[in-house]
A and B are shown apart, each in its own frame.
Chain A
Amino acid sequence: MSTLTLAVRDSSTMLRRNLLHMRRYPSLTLMLIGIPIILLLLFVYVFGGTLGAGLGPSGDRADYANYVTPGILLITVASAAQGTAISVAMDMTEGIIARFRTMAIFRPSVLTAHVLGSAIQTMLSLAAVTGVALLVGFRPTANPVEWLAVFGVLAMITFAVTWLSVALGLVSESVETASNLPMPLVLLPFLGSGFVPTDSMPTPVRWFADYQPFTPVMETLRGLLFGTGIGTNAILAVAWCAVLSVVCFLWAKALYNRSRAA
């Protein structure tokens, strides 16, 4: 069997294992979808009136629902990342991982399965959150091609963040650490253009907000959904996602192989 066939076959076997875990224990998935939905409702119905007025002279709650949804979508990605780190860390405590290491299989398949499984889970969460957003007044003007591009951007950032969270799950000594490490990711949309435009922030915060990876992703999503200017954001978003994915993939792989010396 060629390396590629072996890689695909073993990864899909492992993916089936991860999907079974998710199906059998849906509580983690539900919690991960619940957090962004609660934030969405909170920001639209509690803060939405006031924050909407801040968007411009004619801004209201409906405008804010449109503004905040891309931010909430990234919260969804970040919150799923926490779930990934937890399940990777939990998995590594299981004896079965040692068994996999003594088998003649495609070694990284345990990791690729976690990434694919979590990516599928995240895309489902994103669909659910988008559905709720549409119910509470999110009214994008995108055409089908732009929707496809939205899907592409979300898939890219999901992939990048998932590899990051797999690495965080591996580097954690315990499941508790794994659940805390990805926490800052959930804050990133707040410290960016997710909830309010960055030009309303004091200079040091604004500087961070403008140059962190989530902002160009959110701005690209807004541009695709509502036809606002995208500019260099699309290229920045792709570059961030690509760099994050590659670096975190290599990091995760090194962490997974490390224990052979231990």
Chain B
Amino acid sequence: MARPLRPAISATGLRKSYGDKVVLDGIDLEIAEGTIFALLGPNGAGKTTIVRILSTLIDADGGDARVGGHDLNGEADAVRALIGVTGQFSAVDNLLTGRENLRLMADLCHLDRAAGRRRIDDLLVQFDLVEVAGKPVSTYSGGMRRRLDLAMTLVGEPRVIFLDEPTTGLDPRSRRAMWEIIRELVAGGVTILLTTQYLEEADQLADRVAFLDHGRLIAEGTPRELKRLIPGGHVVLQFADQAELDAAARTLVSSTRDDAALTLQVPSDGGVGSLRALLDQLDRASISVAGLAVHTPDLDDVFLTLTGQPDHERAMAR
């Protein structure tokens, strides 16, 4: 696309605290137009707070942010005209039908009657809601509700979309359907800021990923770049007793042992060839292996490596 490369969302030094609790501790973001940016982090890391600030729901205590070139503070209404938000909690009117919900959005986006009706019909088809359009939303399943929620966000054809944990609580099939919809949206040129707890989701969808932990961004990059941050894959060998473990540790010098679990962690690319070589080597030394697990690096590893230790241990260490 021949559009100039300007950021759809940019933020510098965003801060927010509630009383003594610092929720955001200086967040810098730059999200290019037409890309998907995923914010990853555990519950309470501040993901939703970032979305709430950038979507004009709450004010930051400090820092600057612009969405679509408009300043959040001075030009909140200009920002609102550009964005669409689908939050973690469904933002649909339960007492209305699906079609009435969409019509409400069309009217609030000031579409004229005919254009509104066309848009609503298209969205009902696109989101597979035609059959339930006349039923009250209170009778919808979780997946239907989430689809309607996103359809409502899209009525006004927003250029920038915030998706706050769009697939939390969905079954695997609905999750994949939602991913497909998100991919189509970006193909149409919109910019998406997505928050998620699922690393796989970020891996599947995002052009760039940022890890958020305790109100700070601890890493940012493409999924590939982030995976490069940590040591490669490994194979975990399980042994029946201490003697076998000792013998194996002597044979495989580059391994790390875990005496309590009777396991040995051996660096490996996880390929069939290297596995066969590894097992042959153990065979020649007459060491029997009780079990074997292949581990290729994923974003989970990156996150755990970056945060140093699992969340609960850190909480105790304070």
Contact = CB atoms under 8 A, between A and B. Distances in A.
Contacts of B309: none
Interface stretch (B80-88, B198-206, B283-291): B80-88
A95 interface: yes
Nearest to B55: A102
Interface in B61-106: 77-78, 80-81, 83-85, 87, 89-96, 100, 104
B57 A98 contact: yes
A83 B94 CA distance: 18
Interface in A59-79: none
Contacts of A260: 57-59
A17 B77 contact: no
Interface in A1-34: 1, 9-10, 13, 16-17, 20-21, 24-25
A103 B104 contact: no
Contacts, number: 68
B110 A9 contact: yes
B107 interface: yes
A96 B100 CA distance: 13
B152 interface: yes
Nearest to A101: B57
Nearest to B101: A96
B95 A98 contact: no
B304 interface: no
- Which of A9, A13, A99, A105 is packed against the most chain B CB atoms within 10 Å? A99
Contact of B85 (A16, A102, A104): A102
Contacts of B89: 95, 98
A110 to B, nearest CB: 11
A30 B186 CA distance: 49
A94 B91 CA distance: 7
Contacts of A102: 55-57, 80, 83-85
B267 interface: no
A104 B80 contact: yes
Given A100-B108, A102-B56, A103-B80, A95 B95 contact: no
Given A104-B81, A105-B108, A259-B58, 7 more contacts: A95-B87, A98-B91, A99-B85, A99-B87, A100-B108, A101-B57, A102-B84
10 contacts: A10-B108, A13-B108, A17-B104, A98-B57, A98-B87, A98-B89, A99-B87, A99-B153, A102-B57, A260-B59
- State the 3 A-B residue pairs at the shortest beta-carbon distance, nearest first: A99-B91, A95-B91, A104-B80
Interface of B: 55-59, 77-78, 80-81, 83-85, 87, 89-96, 100, 104, 107-110, 136, 152-153, 156
Interface of A: 1, 9-10, 13, 16-17, 20-21, 24-25, 94-96, 98-105, 259-262
